[in-house]
């Protein structure tokens, strides 16, 4: 039985957070190493009180995110937004890689996106509200974009 380990979160400024991440091949997903990596990411996100975590935040420039949902954590490999609502809304965001900082970001209210799950199966999800916001925030990480690049009314908390 594998015991997941807590990973270090990379914080801004760091070049890794600004790189575009590489897509993963299906053959890389079904390895023991990747399955362990997914468990480590889940544990790290939970222990650090995150609602989402992208691989670049723990030093890996691969297109993998973990998002907390009502049903538990989901790993999304090569997530891609297929459709975005015309309507957008403002909401406060923070980030484990930009500690003690919050700002208002305008995001699409609804999105439709696809990804591969940890078995390499393609999934299609329509998300709205907070869940859609988290997915957009994490996909931004995969493209080297931080929420502070889009935020207004940025405030630091000591």
State how far the Cα of 16 lies from the Cα of 120, in Å rounded to an integer: 25
**Structure-token pair, residue 3:** 């015991």
- Quote the mean pLDDT of the chain: 96
Largest CA distance in the chain: 46
Which CATH class for the 15-156 domain?
Answer: alpha beta
Is 41 in a helix, a strand, or coil? Answer: helix
pLDDT at 150 over 90: yes
Give the catalytic positions in this structure: 138
Q: What is the mean pLDDT of residues 88-95?
A: 98
For residue range 25-83, list pLDDT tens digits in order.
Answer: 999 998 999 999 999 999 999 999 999 999 999 999 999 999 999 889 999 999 999 99
**Domain limits of the chain?**
15-156
């Amino acid at each position: 039985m594998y015991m997941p380990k807590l990973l270090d979160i990379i914080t801004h400024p760091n070049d890794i957070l600004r790189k575009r991440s590489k897509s993963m091949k299906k053959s890389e997903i079904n390895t023991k190493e990747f399955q362990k990596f997914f468990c480590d990411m889940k544990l790290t996100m939970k222990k650090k009180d995150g609602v989402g975590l992208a691989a670049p935040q723990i030093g890996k420039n691969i297109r993998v995110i973990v998002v907390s949902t009502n049903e538990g954590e989901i790993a999304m490999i090569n997530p891609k937004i297929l459709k975005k609502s015309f309507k957008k809304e403002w909401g406060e965001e923070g980030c484990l890689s930009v500690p003690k900082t919050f700002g208002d970001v305008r995001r699409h209210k609804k999105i439709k996106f696809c990804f591969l799950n940890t078995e390499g199966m393609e999934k299609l999800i329509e998300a709205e509200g907070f869940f859609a916001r988290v997915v957009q925030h994490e996909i931004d990480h995969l493209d080297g974009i931080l929420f502070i690049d889009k935020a207004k009314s940025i405030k630091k908390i000591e």
